[in-house]
Structure 1
Amino acid sequence: MTMFHLHDRLQADTAPVAELPLCRVLLMDNRVWPWLILVPARNGLTEIHQLPREDQHRLVDEIAWASRTLETLFSPDKINVGALGNLVPQLHIHVIARSKADPAWPGPVWGSGFAERYSPEERNNLIRKIGEEMRQR
């Protein structure tokens, strides 16, 4: 069995938050939105349908877990969930808390031009807060 490898772009743009039974949970380093990325720890996958059926069901459960966590912590108007992969082919799912007050509302976050990295302290505090909430679920 080969060791799981996270795509270099995800490695550069995120910070680890938690390990779920299927996915690694990452925080997107963009403080404009509360934004998690779930990456199934399976090598060589680009699409959800490539997962075995049991893992597909587990993925939906973990997306819901991440969504509830963001909903509890941030009270967003909407949770956006997407698996695009146009730039990063490795299967990964974006879970983003959106607010009518956010700068890109109602449009997509991608290509909006709004990006600002967290300070190390802010990022670490948020990772701890999200991780604690996820462990309570």
Structure 2
Amino acid sequence: MAFQLHPRLQQDCIILGNLPLCKVLMIKEDIGPWLILVPRITDLKEIHHMTEAQQIQFIQESSAVAQLLEDNFTPDKINIGALGNLVPQLHIHHIARFTTDCAWPGPVWGNTNGVIREQSAQTSLVYLLRDKLDAISGFKR
């Protein structure tokens, strides 16, 4: 069976492109920027289920995305986490957090207002992030 993105991720996110291992998504909600990496491995639920080489590749991609968020948005903190309680497909959140965001200092899960970014701001952020992701080795739109 070929890799398929979970329907909830398709609904809640915009696909920015692919790194060598992971699909890169952006949450539509007006917080962050909030990116998600989804390893393109069928039926994958946990990081420790990947091969050692895949784990190393994932850490490289995760670190590059975190660095991109830090360099371009100057957040107060970057939250990285994998829960998977509602979406069992392995997906790892990378969230630029600010002391001024609606969930600070708590976790974003269950603490945001659910407001979707306005379309013009959404489009601008997508273009900016894709432009910055282009600098990461192996990124393809």
Instruction: Tell me, yes or no, whether TM beats 0.5.
Output: yes
Runs of 4+ more than 3 Å apart:
none
**SS of alignment partner, residue 136 of structure 1:** coil
Query: Partner of 1:25 in structure 2?
Result: 24
**Secondary structure of the structure 1 residue equivalent to 2:134:** helix
CA contact (8 A) 1:82 1:93 kept: yes
Task: Give SS of 1:127's match.
Answer: helix
**Which residue pairs with 2:119 in the alignment?**
120
1:50 matched to which residue of 2? 49
1:67-106 equivalence runs, <5 A = 67-106=66-105
Structure-2 residue corresponding to 1:7: 6
User: What residue in structure 1 maps to residue 129 of structure 2?
Assistant: 130
Shift in Å, 1:3? 2.2
1:32–1:114 Cα contact (<8 Å) kept: no
Aligned to 1:40: 39
Give the drift of 1:102.
1.3
- Residues in 1 aligned to 2:85 and 2:95: alpha-carbon distance in whole angstroms: 17
1:66-98 alpha-carbon deviations (Å, 9 max, x no partner)? 111111221001100001101000000000000
RMSD: 1.1
Opposite residue 25 of structure 2, the aligned amino acid is: L
What is the count of residue pairs matched by the alignment? 136
Q: CA deviation at 1:104?
A: 1.3
Maintained 8 Å contact 2:80/2:93:
yes
Q: Which runs of 5+ in 2 are unaligned?
A: 137-141
Separation in 1, partners of 2:118, 2:83: 27
Aligned counterpart, 2:139 = none
What is the one-letter code of the residue matched to 1:115? G
Q: Percent identity over the alignment?
A: 44
Query: 2:3, 2:119 → 1: CA distance?
Result: 26
Structure 1: tracts of 5 or more residues without a match: none
